[in-house]
Amino acid sequence: DFQMTQSPSSLSASVGDRVTITCRASQSIRSYLNWYQQQPGKAPKLLISGASSLQSGVPSRFSGSGSGRDFTLTISGLRPEDFATYYCQQTYSTPLTFGGGTKVEIK
């Protein structure tokens, strides 16, 4: 199985901050990497697929980059609605696997 390791597991930030979350795969997954946002009590929401393709309707302050083993999700200009937990997911091979999550909290 492909193990996905996210860091940090949590972070505190202020509105307007630039936030970067990293995700590392145990082996190369090329660009088969998605990012999801999950608000408390809600289903996850797909933000980015294929490592860097922003989903329709997702604000442009979200961006993704990386390939191979190392990936990043960046939020440029954190807004109040962005405080949530973020998960990376590899789609290179089944079983599909997720990172452990990064909780973005208000400082």
Partner 1 sequence: QLQLVQSGAEVKKPGASVRVSCKASGYPFSSYGISWVRQAPGQGLEWMGWISADGSTNYAPNLRGRVTMTTDTSTGTAYMELRSLGSDDTAVYYCARDGLIAAVGTFDYWGQGSLVIVTS
**Site residues (CB under 8 A) for partner 1?**
1, 32, 34, 36, 43-46, 49, 55, 87, 89-91, 94-101
Minimum CB separation of residue 45 from partner 1 in Å reads 8
The single-letter DSSP state of residue 55 is P
Determine the distance from the C-alpha atom of residue 105 to the mean position of all C-alpha atoms in its chain, rounded to a whole number.
15
Minimum CB separation of residue 27 from partner 1 in Å reads 16
**C-beta closer to partner 1: residue 68 or 76:** 68
**C-beta closer to partner 1: residue 83 or 98:** 98
Q: Are 67 and 30 in contact (CB under 8 A)?
A: yes
Q: How far apart are CA 107 and CA 99, in angstroms?
A: 23
Q: What are 43's strand-pairing partners?
A: none
**C-beta closer to partner 1: residue 55 or 74:** 55
